[in-house]
């Protein structure tokens, strides 16, 4: 059984999935993202806090807030895109701000 099957995620609907808790969130979300990409799904990953900026082993594209408009609409390929506000000097990708999430509703 795959991770997405154990979470009862359907592949035909747009789903919003949140990981909450201490330890293992980033690892789990990228395992899930890779499984969904393998099923020909476009995946958008983001954070409300900060994660280490992912490399090419974890995602196809990192999208910063300033360039975020319509990037996912332009991609039709199965992909993993990670959205954040900025990358810090410590190589942390900061989460999107509340204003961006309100604009997208």
In this predicted structure, what is the pLDDT of residue 88? 96
CA–CA distance from 56 to each of 34, 59, 60, 70 (Å)? 12, 5, 6, 21
In this predicted structure, what is the pLDDT of residue 70? 72
- Supply the pTM of this predicted model: 0.84
Going through 1-105 in order, the beta strands assigned E by DSSP cover 43-46, 50-52, 61-64, 80-84, 92-94
Residue 66 backbone dihedrals phi, psi, to 5 degrees = -65, -25
Q: Give the bridge partners for 82, in sequence order.
A: 45, 62
In this predicted structure, what is the pLDDT of residue 102? 44
Per-residue pLDDT 10s for the chain (105 aa) are 999 999 999 888 788 899 998 889 999 999 999 999 999 999 999 998 999 999 999 999 999 876 666 777 788 899 999 999 999 999 999 998 766 554 554
In this predicted structure, what is the pLDDT of residue 96? 85
In this predicted structure, what is the pLDDT of residue 32? 96
Domain positions in the chain are: 3-103
């Amino acid at each position: 059984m795959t991770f997405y099957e154990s979470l009862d995620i359907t592949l035909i609907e747009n789903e919003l999935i949140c990981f909450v808790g201490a330890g293992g969130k980033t690892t789990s979300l990228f395992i899930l993202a890779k499984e969904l990409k393998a099923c020909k799904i476009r995946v958008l990953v983001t954070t409300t806090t900060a994660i280490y900026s992912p490399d090419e082993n974890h995602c196809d594209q990192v999208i910063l807030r300033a360039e975020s408009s319509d990037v996912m609409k332009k991609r039709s390929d199965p992909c993993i895109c990670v959205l954040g506000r900025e990358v810090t000097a410590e190589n942390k990708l900061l989460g999107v701000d509340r204003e961006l999430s309100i604009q997208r509703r």
